[in-house]
Structure 1
Amino acid sequence: MTTVLIHGVPDTARVWNRLLPLLPDEHVVALDLPGFGCGWPAGFEPTKERYLAWIIDALEAIPGPLDVVAHDWGSILMLRVLTLRPDLIRSWAGGGAPFSADYAWHPTARLWQTPGAGEKAMDRLTPDIAVDMLRRAGLPETDARVTAANIDPRMKESILGLYRSGRDVFATWGPELAGLRDRVPGLVLWGETDPYAEPRFAERIGEATGARVACFEGCGHWWQVERPEETAAAIVSFRQAAGLS
């Protein structure tokens, strides 16, 4: 059994460092999305479609069965993989991002999605400003500083491309989520005080897919960093209930 970890924005695979040693898996693969702590493959464009194709290729290359844990944009992309290639994933756990057509992007996302204004915002995004933004969303200061230090020009360009291509992602991808109901065992993970999306969006994913929902009290956006022990326990309990361990 292999667990694959897929991070979101503005993270790298380092975001899993607190959770990874708590997972009872012999093999764990933490992916770095192109442009996030690494370069782009030749000819790569940072759009949701290209990231989706890249993740499918990455999962196909890893011997299964695969249990995937994903966060933020990683979770959005993972859920889309499930609607297209459910054969690639034995079980999934993810959250920190909605998948509902009526979700309105948060103000920072809307700024990034606006040509010109997004570039100016990225020019102003110094490490100190990034640390403050990340801390207010729940990331501990030590982790916020590590994350901010990795926000380089390539990552900024990747974020702008991803968010602009994903302006209507929930309206276009969201309706197909219901087709997953009870097909692949799932667990939705959420922070009760996530400033980007309320827990009701976790419940909607759970209702659409038949997945269990775990919402962590007093937790912000990064449950794998803020509540690693609780996250690991929720994943273990979910797998046991699904007969996967």
Structure 2
Amino acid sequence: MEHHYAQLSEVNLHYVSQGEGPTILFVHGFPEFWYGWKAQIDALSKAYRCVAVDLRGYNLSSKPIPVSAYSAKHIVGDLREFVEHLGGPVHIVAHDWGGAMVWEFATRFPELIRKLVIINAPHAYTLHRELRENPAQREAMDYFTLFRSDKAERVLSEDDFARLQTMFDSWDIGGHRVTREVRKNYLTAWKQPGALTGGLDWYRATKLVPPACGKPNVEDFELDARNHQVNVPTMVVWGERDTALLTGLLNGLDACVPDLRVERIAEGSHWVHHEFPERVNALIDDFLERLCVDSLAVQ
């Protein structure tokens, strides 16, 4: 595995790469970093060039100060420049906040994406609808109130980031133990100067929030599905036990994504790619080129 930096127009992004072949770009969410894709990189780099990036605000990448620097415009701009840096177009696999931004990136720059895999990440159009119409989804995202507050850094870093470490609780459901090394690597990333604030500023910059979070929020603007079309072949992998992003977000998604395949994993949570890495890796390989099918079958 090789470590690199890409100097873009606004930020310097750290990333890792491993393997040769068609490029897969892995894009993480909160509170992860490139290392969150290690199980996918180790398996798929047998036949692909796997690249995993630290997004702006995270780990070893630049951490701009103003909250406005974490708006979709800036992050989508990073993705465009970074894919061009990699020699795109590329396949993209994305999760959580990374997936939310990649949805928008795919809307604006479909020519830079070969195929798209989204793992438990909401499309803006269906998220807007569900936050307006579904009380259960609004309640599920009530944690945004804390994450957008001034006390968020203090609360989330208490007791050696105890609240963030709860994300590991389900990762061994598929038989993979969360080792001390894994915890140490995450703690090291979270403790990078400015990293926790950088990740939280993604929450502070978005307008796609429940009404309880204050203004602006989803009640202050409309979204037209025609303006959020994703015209690239897309597979969505969804852990149905996700308590923050409910399955209602999948309803009507085909109105925005004509070439859509949905794979539901009933026993998986928001962290399904950690809980069932072999299943998720096989789905990714099958959807892309089936280049790893033999080696994945014997894992």
**2:146 maps to which of 103, 107, 111:** 111
**Runs of 5+ consecutive residues of structure 2 not aligned to the other structure:** 1-21, 132-137, 173-177, 210-216, 291-299
Deviation of 1:189 (Å): 1.1
Please name the residue that 2:164 is paired with: 130
* Residues 34-68 of structure 1 deviation map (CA, whole Å, 9 limit, x = unaligned): 23111416788333332221111101211233110
Whole-angstrom CA distance in 2 between matches of 1:80 and 1:107: 23
Whole-angstrom CA distance in 2 between matches of 1:91 and 1:17: 20
Deviation of 1:72 (Å): 0.5
In structure 2, do the counterparts of structure 1 residues 62 and 85 end up closer, same or farther at CA, with 3 Å as the change threshold?
same
Aligned residues of 1:92 and 1:186 also touching (Cα < 8 A) = yes
Structure 1 position 161 matched with structure 2 position 212: no
Q: Which amino acid aligns with 2:167?
A: L
Aligned residues of 1:36 and 1:158 also touching (Cα < 8 A) = yes
Bigger Cα displacement from structure 2, 7-16 vs 214-223: 214-223
In structure 2, do the counterparts of structure 1 residues 167 and 221 end up closer, same or farther at CA, with 3 Å as the change threshold?
same
Please name the residue that 1:53 is paired with: 77
Please name the residue that 1:213 is paired with: 262
Matches within 5 A, 1:187-206: 187-206=235-254
Whole-angstrom CA distance in 2 between matches of 1:125 and 1:52: 34
Q: Which amino acid aligns with 2:278?
A: E
Aligned to 2:70, the other structure's residue is in SS state coil
Bigger Cα displacement from structure 2, 73-82 vs 55-64: 55-64
**1:17 maps to which of 10, 16, 38:** 38
Aligned residues of 2:89 and 2:111 also touching (Cα < 8 A) = no
Aligned to 2:256, the other structure's residue is in SS state helix
Aligned residues of 1:180 and 1:209 also touching (Cα < 8 A) = yes
Whole-angstrom CA distance in 2 between matches of 1:125 and 1:206: 43
Whole-angstrom CA distance in 1 between matches of 2:47 and 2:104: 25
Aligned to 1:214, the other structure's residue is in SS state strand
Aligned to 1:10, the other structure's residue is in SS state coil
* Residues 143-202 of structure 1 deviation map (CA, whole Å, 9 limit, x = unaligned): 455434421242211122110111327957964477535x21000011121121122323
**1:98 maps to which of 122, 126, 135:** 122
Q: Which amino acid aligns with 1:38?
A: L
Bigger Cα displacement from structure 2, 89-98 vs 198-207: 198-207
Aligned to 1:197, the other structure's residue is in SS state coil
Structure 1 position 86 matched with structure 2 position 77: no
Q: Relative contact order: is structure 1 or structure 2 higher (C-alpha 8 Å, sep ≥ 6)? A: 1
In structure 2, do the counterparts of structure 1 residues 156 and 91 end up closer, same or farther at CA, with 3 Å as the change threshold?
same
User: TM-score normalized by structure 1?
Assistant: 0.83
Aligned residues of 1:98 and 1:201 also touching (Cα < 8 A) = yes
Whole-angstrom CA distance in 2 between matches of 1:38 and 1:202: 33
* Aligned pairs, number: 237
Whole-angstrom CA distance in 1 between matches of 2:200 and 2:162: 20
In structure 2, do the counterparts of structure 1 residues 112 and 128 end up closer, same or farther at CA, with 3 Å as the change threshold?
closer
Deviation of 1:234 (Å): 1.4
